[in-house]
């Protein structure tokens, strides 16, 4: 019922996906599937089988999607997200790329919202040092913002806090009773 779908070139987003799954698992009644988007990018229709998708994508270069998400992105348009709740998370470098920190979660978040998804898991921008981001809307990140390059010591605590927040926002039918 829940899948975490990530793209990861430097393994940071994969590590985050696995840590989020481990942190979230005690709260849900069914297994959480962790899926590398590279393995399904030409067959995204299977994502419609899930009630909740946690989508992870790092921002690459100057505000670009990670390569596997870049390949998969056009295929999202064929999907109906109207019954799917989506939470987003991403990795980025706020000091090296202050003008597009976390752009990827905004790019994907806006698209899935246009396709009908309900977005949960917005994350405050407090405590980050960047200039601009497509990943920010109404003063909040579209989802969890991680910076393994500069603040890896904060990752575990951020994941724990975000998962605790998600548990309050997830549809009740996906939570263990």
Quick one: pLDDT at residue 177?
65
Contact call for residues 60 and 93 (beta carbons, < 8 A): no
Q: Is the sign of the CA dihedral 106, 107, 112, 115 positive or negative?
A: positive
Residue 121: C-alpha distances to residues 3, 162, 164, 175 (Å): 15, 7, 10, 16
- Tell me the pLDDT of the chain (177 aa) as tens digits: 999 999 999 999 999 999 999 999 999 978 999 999 999 988 999 999 999 999 999 999 999 999 999 999 999 999 999 999 999 999 999 999 999 999 999 999 999 999 999 999 999 999 999 999 999 999 999 999 999 999 999 999 999 999 999 999 999 999 986
Domain count, the chain: 1
Quick one: pLDDT at residue 65?
97
For 60, list phi and psi in degrees, rounded to 5.
-110, 155
Quick one: pLDDT at residue 29?
79
For 65, list phi and psi in degrees, rounded to 5.
-75, 150
Q: In CATH, what number is assigned to the domain containing residue 89?
A: 3.40.50.360
Residue 50 domain boundaries: 2-174
Contact call for residues 131 and 99 (beta carbons, < 8 A): yes
H/E stretch holding 169 reads helix 155-169
């Amino acid at each position: 019922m829940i899948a975490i779908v990530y793209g990861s070139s430097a393994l940071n987003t994969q590590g985050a996906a696995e840590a989020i799954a481990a942190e979230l698992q005690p709260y849900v009644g069914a297994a959480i599937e962790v899926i590398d988007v590279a393995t399904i990018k030409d067959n995204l229709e299977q994502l419609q089988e899930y009630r909740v998708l946690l989508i992870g994508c790092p921002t690459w270069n100057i505000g670009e999607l990670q390569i596997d998400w870049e390949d998969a992105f056009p295929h999202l348009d064929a999907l109906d997200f109207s019954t799917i709740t989506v939470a987003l998370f991403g990795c980025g470098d706020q000091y090296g790329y202050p003008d597009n920190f976390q752009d990827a979660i905004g790019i994907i978040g806006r698209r899935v919202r246009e396709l009908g998804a309900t977005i949960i898991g917005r994350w405050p921008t407090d405590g980050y040092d960047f200039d601009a981001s497509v990943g920010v809307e109404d003063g909040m990140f579209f989802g969890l913002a991680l910076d393994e390059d500069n603040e890896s010591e904060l990752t575990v605590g951020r994941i724990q806090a975000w998962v605790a927040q998600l548990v309050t926002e997830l549809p009740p039918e996906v939570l263990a009773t």
